[in-house]
Amino acid sequence: NQSVQKIASSSTRLGRPRRSGPPKSLGDSAYLKARKELPLWRYQDKIRDVLKKRDVLVVVGETGSGKSTQIPQFLYQEDWCQRKKVKVNNEEVSVGGVIAITQPRRVAATTLAHRVSREVGTPIIGQKGSGESGNASKESYAKGLVGYSVRFDHNVPRGTKIKYLTEGMLLQELLRDPNLRQYSAVIVDEIHERSVDVDLLSGFLKQIHTGDKAGRGGIPLKLVIMSATANVEGIQRFFSGSDESNQPASDASQSSIEFLRIEGRQFPVEITHTPKAVPDLQEALLKTIFKIHLQEPLPGDILCFLIGQEEIESAQKLIEEYAATLASNVPKVQVCPLYGQLSIEAQHQAFQPVKAKFTRKIVLATNIAETSVTVPGVKYVVDCGKAKVKQFRTRLGMESLLAKAISKSSATQRAGRAGREAPGKCFRLYTEDTFNGLADADLPEILRNDVLGAVLTMKARGIDDVLAFPLMDRPSIESIEKALIQLHLLNAIDDSGSITDLGRKMAYFPVSAPLGRVLLAAATPQYDCVLEVIDIISAITAGDDIFHQLQSEEAREEVEEYRKELYRREGDLLTYLTTMQHYAAENSDRIAWCKKRKINIRNMKQAMNIRRQLRGMCLKEKLLSEAPPPDPQPFVPISPDRAETLIKCFLKGYTLKTAMLAPDSSYVTSHGKHVVAIHPSSVLHGQKREAIMFLEHVFTQKNYAKKVSIIQANWIADALDEE
Ligand code: ADP
């Protein structure tokens, strides 16, 4: 596996790690030397000491100080961290032995696992899992100490002691193992990001920690809570034992949790703001990047914080085009995108030093590179000052995904990335006044987001009274009630508010609650369309969109010619399905096939990977009775009848996301009565039909419906009827 070797050999002079045999001695390893230089190194005895005596430790330390990579390594050989046999309900069970480290993002979980597996000398093998070709076979999961588990990709070698996983995955494990018996400790990393998942997870961990330990045979679950920002009082109070998060903890319980601040290492960073607001962000970005590139000496890589995948991809293209026109005595550039949905192989590029001589690396990242991951070699940061923020408006039942100004705390973190290894420079593409006007910190996601998924997560894990569940910040009662009503409508909870079998199954699948509902409906004889639904879900879950937006009229004309065979008049869902089926049937050159149709190859590969995993899960859960035939299968177009069945099946999850054509030719949502327009990215853009169903409702410049299908108004009532 070439990419594993490439990654493994990059940041060490020791050459390639061995794949099998005993771990090599770390005595004279270059890794050990680097580890010893980390601010965290000198705290290792202290950390071991604290956790021998206490069960909760809160650690605050700058990004890059070594928290995520080092703390698990300090702990995994401790006595309390070994697997023990205990009696639970007169049955002998094993408890402990593994340390979980949770991450808000998949990139961080996989990157950290690879880094640490190299540091301990047992590389992760079987990295193929991220590609569409399938997970590496069981045999190739050599014995190793480090593994990772993220949505749609798992690589946990036998004998794993240190397991990096996303917060969502640990929540998923709680479904099967409410006491987290395989773990001796859970390290909650990046808690300052306050994702919905980390807030929920914190509640469950608090319950395990403070509840009776019978389910774990009396063995406590140790917790290490880590943050890159210092404002952790509320978090400390939450974990210190008192049930109400906003009540001050008693002194006794306060003392059971220890606090450690790591004195960091940060070189000075010279910050420059623009004198005036920039009219065109992309132009300002290009100018700044090439000014740095032409004026500043090598080595010194550039890290740019951009809004999202789309902006990153178009900037990459422009930078590469412009760089190609530069004289031969100017250093070359290597552009590396870095965002959440990127395949693991592509992500790793961003972390490798450039191999070619006389070349500068330019990493184009989302806010993922703010605190989650450390990109080595960076001396220059360019900060566009914005990030994509999902916000849910309970009253409107509408989600907005807008590029919003970041907070002061984020801007400071971003600038800090330039001073990790040496003095650096940060170029903000906004004025100093703009900076001064930014909010101090971001609102926790649970107060901004739709809580439908969060409420289902709680219900499926046995929390009957969701209002009493311990949370650091409580969403409004109104938004929780709305979520309960919606779950009831989806038949996920019954009249008394208890989780139903259907709800439990919905929570098992790593997709949103409405999509879970659709998948389960697909398995009933009435619809019987699991494979098709899996294809559609895969296509809409992979990246921003599998279709590249077509910028110019010219491009449109040329590409539409090829895309014609994919477009379906029933709408976007059928178009996604047709695209998946054509791609899966393509036998010769899938890359060329995508290029012609301006389809995002990365997202398409990811979609195929998701499809394979969902198929596996559906087989396991008996939603599918037999394994589907392997690709490529000949393409067979979906008949109009079948298309109708599929759309009706989606209505089982999306009755609330429908709109009717009003006499004035606008679409008005059946729920909430808002005017929506069909998004320009939809194949139905500009069409006027009796009624539509949409999967997403976003507010950008306008109130838009995305992923739209044509329906008939009377289908809605049918979908609401019990099966
Ligand atoms: P923290 O959790 O405090 O942010 P980490 O443990 O993630 O710190 O990183 C510590 C150091 O390890 C980084 O500063 C960097 O030098 C090195 N490091 C971490 N991950 C990688 C990687 N994937 N490639 C190269 N170096 C890395």
Q: For 197-208, how does the pLDDT look when each residue is reduced to its tens digit (9 = 90+)?
A: 999 999 999 999
The DSSP output letter for 680 is T
Rounded Cα–Cα distance for residues 24 and 17 (Å): 8
Q: What is the pLDDT of residue 393?
A: 61
Q: Is the CB of 378 under 6 A from ligand 1?
A: no
70 CA: nearest ligand 1 atom: 6
Spacing, Cα 352 to ligand 1 middle (Å): 12
Beta strands (DSSP E) in 294-331 are 301-305
Q: What confidence category does residue 11 fall into, taking pLDDT thresholds of 50, 70 and 90? A: very low
Q: Are 406 and 387 in contact (CB under 8 A)?
A: yes
Q: What is the pLDDT of residue 75?
A: 97
**DSSP β-bridge partners for residue 391:** 400
Distance CA 339, CA 255 (A): 40
351 within ligand 1 shell (Cβ under 6 A): yes
Phi, psi of 590 (to 5 degrees): -70, -30
Q: Ligand 1 within 6 A of 164 CB?
A: no
Q: How many CB atoms lie within 10 A of CB 308?
A: 18
Q: How high is the pLDDT of residue 650?
A: 98
User: Is 65 close to ligand 1, i.e. is its CB under 6 Å away?
Assistant: yes
Which tens digits make up the pLDDT trace of 336-388?
Answer: 999 877 766 777 788 888 888 899 999 999 988 887 677 889 999 999 999 98
pLDDT tens string 427-444: 999 999 999 999 988 888
Give the global pTM: 0.80
Q: Which of 31, 69, 345, 347 to mutate to test the pocket of ligand 1 (most atoms within 8 A of CB)?
A: 69
pLDDT in the model for residue 441: 84
Give the model confidence (pLDDT) of 42-92 as tens digits: 999 999 999 999 999 999 998 888 999 999 999 999 999 999 999 998 999
Return the top range by mean pLDDT from 245-249, 279-283, 550-554. Answer: 279-283
Provide the pLDDT for residue 211.
85
Mutating to test ligand 1, I would choose from 124, 229, 374 the residue with most ligand atoms within 8 A of its C-beta, which is 374
Residue type, 428: R
Question: What would the pLDDT profile of 115-167 be if each residue is shown by its tens digit?
Answer: 999 898 887 754 433 333 333 333 333 468 999 999 878 889 888 999 999 99
- Nearest residue by C-alpha to atom 21 in ligand 1: 115
Question: Rounded to whole angstroms, how far apart are CA atoms 187 and 100?
Answer: 6
Rounded to two decimals, the ipTM of the complex is 0.96
Whether pLDDT at 246 is above 90: no
